[in-house]
Amino acid sequence: MSNPFVIDKKFTVDYRDREIGPAWFACEAGAWEIEASTPILSGGEKGGSLKSMVLEIIRESEEILAICSFLISDGDLLKAILEASDRGVRVYIITASKDRIAKDTSEEETWQKQMQMEHEKMLNSLCSKTLLRDAQVHAKFIVSDPKSEQKRGILSTANFTTEAFLHPELGIVLNDSQIIELFSIFSAAWWGLGKRELLQPNLLSDARDILPSVSNEITNITKNLKEFVVTYPNRTTSLRKEIKRLFQDSTESIFIAIYGLSDDDSTFKSLVSSVGKKDVRLLVRPRPKTTPIIDDLKLKGAEVRGLDFLHAKVICTRTERGIEALLMTANLEKISLQDGFEVGIKLRGKAAKDILKVLYHWWNNANWEYADSKKLGEHLGAYLVLNDREFEKHEVEETKPIPLGEQPIEDLASLESFKPKFPDVRDMQRVVFSWTTQPRQLPKKCKPHKIEDLDESIKVWKCDKNRIYISVSNQEELDRVLKTPEKPKVPIVYHKI
């Protein structure tokens, strides 16, 4: 006769009301790539229209190429620049110094370190063919033949690297007046910020001292711009002023796409003030470093979504002048808006509307949403939680079976109500626990024992150390014992007859 109290049982625990807490929650998303309308350019597959236009400008240059980029690392660009130099084009390049790169690539993203190594390798390849200086720069743009009728130029949010062009980035094709102004900005940076020159591989030499007359000219350039705003160390922070103006003059919602965000700059206070008064949409790349700032803005009322690999930097809003946008190379942090060299272009009309279309497309296809909390029942799929300055990735599943194996039952009186101790389970909406009951059996060397006024059909035993047990062999006996009011408070165990 098999043990009738060995029973397979299941119990479902519902965790759907459990709070997850603040996190980045994955959401269904389509393709973020978009063919932007001219003059707006975007990154994407094979570098998108942004890389294509940069290459075209280099390949069609005839006299002068002025390139400024935080990082430079792309085989196609290297080849095109060398070919331009070989046909007599004078190539001037400003790129970031090692200490400036170190400040920007100190995070967990190992691909940034790889880009830095490739950047240094490419510069060594260019140094004998170009004039190359490094400085505290973070701007990204290119100008060709600024003094001819064939002048061309692009302001870019992307570094000139293969990796960057593949990601959500923006650029703008410049008109003649913008090209002339941007080239004057480049000239100011070349003479005023370029402290060292790369004259031969791995050998940086001090650049010539700046003349007082040139210094005065730089001051005039950086303080009398019309279409651009810049951060130029110790001379002007017109870029910061323009950002604050856009926040203050906004009459409707503010749309921001940004890579870096910090509360160490006064623009953050302006943004916080705007969140309290206007609808603010913030599209960012989910990063551990910026998540505490994102959490603060979310709690104050901002709507936040995340897009993997986003690196574009743009603010778009409506003011009394209409739709305005600021496309820039700067992040919203002190290192960009006070200490570095950054460039932004003020846009209205069609260009601003075209940028807004791109932002809405990215927003609608963002693959992350930041929330201060969600219940497990409100989310299926991945989410990212910040833990000690790093992301922990979790996955919410709908239902999971968890077998608990054999579970001993010391007293058959609790057979129906018995539940084993369930382990705490994260990230499951429901868990079906299963187990097999294993009732305790009557110990050996026990003797029948009589209890006064107790029905003799109830089997009572006295075992070692004077322990008293009641034994049953089937469900009928167990039911009879449980219904007996005179039953002593002793364990009921199984005993095979």
Confidence of residue 290 (pLDDT cuts 50, 70, 90): very high
> Quick check: bond before 4 cis, omega within 30?
no
pLDDT at residue 206 in the model: 75
Q: Read off the tokens for 154.
A: 């692009």
Q: Are residues 427 and 468 in the same domain?
A: no
pLDDT at residue 85 in the model: 95
* Contact status, residue 328 vs residue 126, Cβ threshold 8 Å: no
Rounded CA-CA distance 339/231 in Å is 8
Q: Are residues 364 and 407 in the same domain?
A: no
pLDDT at residue 443 in the model: 93
pLDDT at residue 485 in the model: 87
3-state secondary structure of 102: helix
pLDDT at residue 210 in the model: 74
Rounded CA-CA distance 130/121 in Å is 14
Which residues are registered as beta bridge partners of 494? 441, 472
Confidence of residue 151 (pLDDT cuts 50, 70, 90): very high
Phi-psi region of 389 (alpha: psi -120 to 50; beta: other; left: phi over 0): left
pLDDT at residue 496 in the model: 87
State mean pLDDT over 371-381.
96
> Does 281 map to a domain?
yes
Rounded CA-CA distance 34/363 in Å is 12
User: pLDDT (tens digit, 9 = 90+) per residue, 190-231?
Assistant: 999 988 888 777 767 777 777 777 788 888 888 899 999 999
Q: Are residues 311 and 383 in the same domain?
A: no
DSSP string covering 244-272: HHHHHH-SS-EEEEES-B-SSSHHHHHHH
* Contact status, residue 403 vs residue 8, Cβ threshold 8 Å: no
Measured in residues, the chain has a length of 497
Q: Which of 21-25, 211-215, 415-419, 448-452 is the least confident region?
A: 211-215
Q: Strands 303-306 and 23-26, how do they pair?
A: unpaired
Of 439, 465, 483, the domain-final residue: 439
Choice between 210 and 88, residue whose per-residue pLDDT is larger: 88
Rounded CA-CA distance 311/258 in Å is 7
Rounded CA-CA distance 70/94 in Å is 8
Sign of CA dihedral 334, 336, 337, 339: positive
pLDDT at residue 104 in the model: 67
* Contact status, residue 144 vs residue 60, Cβ threshold 8 Å: yes
Report CA-CA distances (Å) from 382 to 270, 386, 388, 496: 33, 14, 19, 52
Q: Are residues 348 and 416 in the same domain?
A: no
Tell me which residue range forms the domain holding 487: 441-494
Choice between 100 and 479, residue whose per-residue pLDDT is larger: 479
Q: Are residues 432 and 449 in the same domain?
A: no
Average pLDDT, whole number, for the chain? Answer: 92
State mean pLDDT over 89-101.
84
Predicted model pTM:
0.88
pLDDT at residue 1 in the model: 57
> Does 3 map to a domain?
no
Of 355, 371, 387, the domain-final residue: 371
User: pLDDT (tens digit, 9 = 90+) per residue, 446-477?
Assistant: 999 998 888 888 999 999 989 999 999 999 99
Of 439, 456, 477, the domain-final residue: 439
Q: Are residues 400 and 435 in the same domain?
A: yes
Rounded percentage of the chain residues whose pLDDT exceeds 70: 96
Count how many domains the chain has: 3
Rounded CA-CA distance 33/445 in Å is 79
**CATH number of the domain to which 355 belongs:** 3.30.870.10
Instruction: Give 27: exposed, middle or buried? Use CB within 10 Å, 0-12, 13-18, 19+.
Output: middle
Position 304 pLDDT exceeds 70: yes
Identify the CA nearest to 262 among candidates 236, 234, 284.
284
